[in-house]
Each structure stands twice: as C-alpha cells, then as structure tokens.
Amino acid sequence: MNTIKTAFAGLLVGAVLLSSCTKSNDDDDFPAGDVPPTAGGYTASSQISPANLVAFYNFNSDSVQDSISKVNGTNAGMTFTTGIKGKALTGNPDATKKAYATAAASAAVQAMTQYTLSCWVNTPQNVGATGIVGLGDTKNFWGNINIFFENGGTNTLARFKTIYGDNGVTRDNNIQDVANGFNNWVQYLITYDGAGNFKSYVNGTLVRTNTVSGMTAIRFTNVGPIVFGALHFKTVPSSTTGSPGEDWAGYIPGKIDEVRIYNKALTSTEVSALSILERQGR
C-alpha cells in the first residue's frame, strides 16, 4: 500500500512540474526572462536584421540622436514625454509654435537602394497634412520619403499616406484609412524592395502594395535632413527650394517614437515581429 501511495505522489509532483514548465507557452503569465518568441523566433526588437539597421532614433536621452551613427539632430520646439518604449519626441498642440525636429541623413541612409522606415505615433487628430517622418530633398517639392497624415480624417479615422521619390520623380502609395488611428499608439511602416514594390504596413499588417514596372534600386536625389513632426517644406526656413512652405500643411501635435531605418525591405515576418515586440517594450 505504501508503495502505491509513493508512486501516486511521484506522478502528482511530475504533473505539477510539467504544468509549470509549459505554462508560459499557453498564456501571457510568463516569468521574466521566459519570453515567448514571435514568428521567426525573435524575442527582442534588436534581433531583427541588426546588420541592416542604419539609423535608430529612440529619443530616450532627451535628444534627437541616431543610436547608430551617434550624431545628434536639432530639436525645434519639441519635448520628450513618455513613449511606447522609454521616451517619445512630442510636438506642440499649438501649431503656431511650429514644433518639429531634424537630423542629418548619414552616409548609410543616403546610400540606400532599398529600405524600411518604421515609426510609432500617438497623436490627436491632425490639422492640415501633417508629416510624421520623412527624408528631405533640398530642391524638389516632395522629399525622398514622405510619411504623413492626409487631410480628411475624423476623431476615429486617420488617413495615412506615403509619397516616395525616385531620382526626382514622385510615386504615390495612396491613402490608407486607419480606424482609431488617433490618441492610440499606432505603428506605421513602409518598405521598398529594390524591385519596384512599395509596401505600407499598419501595426504589422500589410495594407497597401504599389508595384512600379521596371523600377530597380531607389535613387535618392539632393538628400536633405530627416524631418520629424512635419513635412520637409514646413521647417523654418523650408528645407527645400521647391517650396517656401505651404499653409495647408501642419505640425504633429502628439508623439513619435522608435524610428528605425533599415537598408533593406523587411520581410512580412520581420515586420510582424517588430510590431509585436516594440508594443511589448522589447
């Protein structure tokens, strides 16, 4: 009888141990250091294509510093507040203050022939077409990369738009409507793969593809600054001779965080993993 009781107790202990070992794979109640991997096996955003990350602005040092090149940008009236991870670059609700920031594009950014640009935004509804992040062109109306909120949104609907430059020619990836796109953290990510395919993602999900037949490596021209919180012709003075500034455009009143630039088009698996992990603060 004692032998049977001992055997039963051993089975019970084994079941408890097995349950404790597998629990973290079944729900979100996992212990620190036992993070369930995303698709692709990633457990931290830093693991995603690190060799291709050519610029990274996390704003955690209360500055517009590129963590890759270590070069500081210029802050024109923005502040630093709580972000999706650490701190965020934050605009001014008063558009007359014309708050934005700029950073010189590194040689690695200027040399890109394909790319990914990812950022997180948490902002009230825009007033006027409002730049989020862009790569300027010192001579043309549109920059080499333009990510912005288009006019026509509502309190519950953001209108996300991208315009790309290739050798001075602009290409439009149209407008993507984003439900509940204001006053929430939303990730906007764009890619170009060097083979004519432009893609836009929202929170890790593909929302738009535009294919340009015969197009190959991207060709940036007259590279200006990276601009945060406004389109490149809304800096003071304008960053381009192509426009002195436009009254219909505005300045972001909310937050921008975790701006990453890669010199390749991330895969859909990498995009999804980046969105999940950054939202978790990893």
pLDDT at 254 over 70: yes
Measured between alpha carbons, how far is 95 from 126 in angstroms, rounded to an integer?
10
Q: Are 257 and 84 in contact (CB under 8 A)?
A: yes
Residue-wise over 226-261: b if at least 16 C-beta within 10 A, else e?
bbbbbbbbbbeebbbebbebeeebbbbbbbbbbbbb
Residue with the larger pLDDT of the pair 115 and 35: 115
CA distances from 29 to 25, 63, 68, 151, 281 (A): 9, 35, 34, 42, 16
Report the pLDDT value the prediction gives residue 12, as an integer from 0 to 100: 44
What pTM was estimated for this model as a whole? 0.86
Report the pLDDT value the prediction gives residue 232, as an integer from 0 to 100: 97
CA distances from 20 to 29, 72, 113, 177 (A): 11, 47, 49, 44
Mean residue pLDDT of the chain comes to 88
DSSP classification of residue 72 = B
Confidence of residue 30 (pLDDT cuts 50, 70, 90): very low
DSSP classification of residue 47 = G
pLDDT at 14 over 80: no
Report the pLDDT value the prediction gives residue 15, as an integer from 0 to 100: 42
Q: Are 131 and 138 in contact (CB under 8 A)?
A: no
Report the pLDDT value the prediction gives residue 109, as an integer from 0 to 100: 96
Domain boundaries, the chain: 56-279
Of the listed ranges 171-175, 179-183, 271-275, 277-281, the one predicted with least confidence? 171-175
* Fold of the 56-279 domain: Jelly Rolls (2.60.120)
Report the pLDDT value the prediction gives residue 2, as an integer from 0 to 100: 47
Report the pLDDT value the prediction gives residue 3, as an integer from 0 to 100: 47
Q: What is the mean pLDDT of residues 238-267?
A: 95
How many CA atoms lie within 13 Å of 89's alpha carbon, on the beta-carbon side?
31
Residue-wise over 8-42: b if at least 16 C-beta within 10 A, else e?
eeeeeeeeeeeeeeeeeeeeeeeeeeeeeebeeeb
**Element of type H or E holding 177:** strand 169-179
Both tokens of 237, joined, read 């003075």
Measured between alpha carbons, how far is 54 from 261 in angstroms, rounded to an integer?
6
pLDDT at 10 over 50: no
DSSP classification of residue 34 = -
- 176-216 residue pLDDT tens: 899 999 999 999 999 999 999 999 999 999 999 999 999 99
